[in-house]
Amino acid sequence: MSDTDNKAQNKAPNNLKDTRDKRKRVERIKNGIIIAIFVSIIVSILAVIGLIVAIVNMVILGNKVEKLEQGSSATVTQSSTVTTQDDSNLILPGSGEVSKVYLTFDDGPSDNTDRILDILKENDVKATFFLVAKEDEASKDRIKRMAAEGHSVGIHSFAHKYSEVYSSLDAFKTDVDKMITYVDGILGYKPKLYRFPGGSGNKVTNVDIKECIDYLDSKNLAYYDWNVSGGDSSSNAYTSDELVENVMKDVLKYKTSVVLLHDDNTKGATVEALPKLIEQLKGANVEILPITDSTPLVQHVKAE
């Protein structure tokens, strides 16, 4: 065999090895490119997800800021909202929680106001009064006494006639505005508390109650309904003992109990019941308080 043939035979394996090495390098390069592309895609997806999350958070934050800037007292100043169907307001047996009780009186001032105030003072108890407009000087003096003795003063209605108050949104606004002016003229400050005639869940209004709520918010008025009632607003002629029983059978169920009572010339049984009611409440070791900015809202129709 010639030298030429030997060289050709030796070169053939080397060429095959070089080809294999080239193929391996190409494969490695291909795999590297594929991995690089895959990583780039993953990084891009994660970046897009991060951007979407950031945008969503910005939108949520913007909505919260917008709500705060709208100045809703129900959202900004109050700690929470509860309803009679709200299980979170129930006191669980054995929990040891103490009920906070808010005695509220609608429709005053009246000829019974002085006696109610006397009883509250004698027992060192503060309450909340939701007023109607009375133009006589004696009534105005009673309102001044309420405030001077540390009771919370809110508004109920100027006309206190459902057919007038709820005949239209403009009529409702007028009634509220007149009561704000009325209280401001007597006490020198605008009230912050409101109670709907018949409650926010009344069935007699011709106006969308949510529109009324929006107007109260614009006036910085927080509205309170009730989740416990003495029953003195009904036509039933409850005795004083029955009125006390009506309150006590429900008042200890709730962490926040807003009690509906009435300050009216015809409510002599309520006045008679009040000392006994306070005695039983104190015996149950509850806290009896006036409604303030920190009182949880109790509403039949919850503010949006």
Residue 240 neighbours by CB distance under 10 Å? 19
Which residue in 155, 144, 225, 224 sits closest to 190, CA to CA? Answer: 155
Q: Which entry of 262, 263, 264, 300 is annotated as an active-site residue?
A: 262
Q: Which entry of 86, 106, 217, 264 is annotated as an active-site residue?
A: 106
262 is a catalytic site residue? yes
CA gyration radius, the chain = 36
160 is a catalytic site residue? no
* Pair of tokens at residue 31: 């795999």
Yes or no: say if 120 and 112 are a contact pair by the CB < 8 Å rule. no
Query: Among all residues, which ones are annotated catalytic?
Result: 106, 262
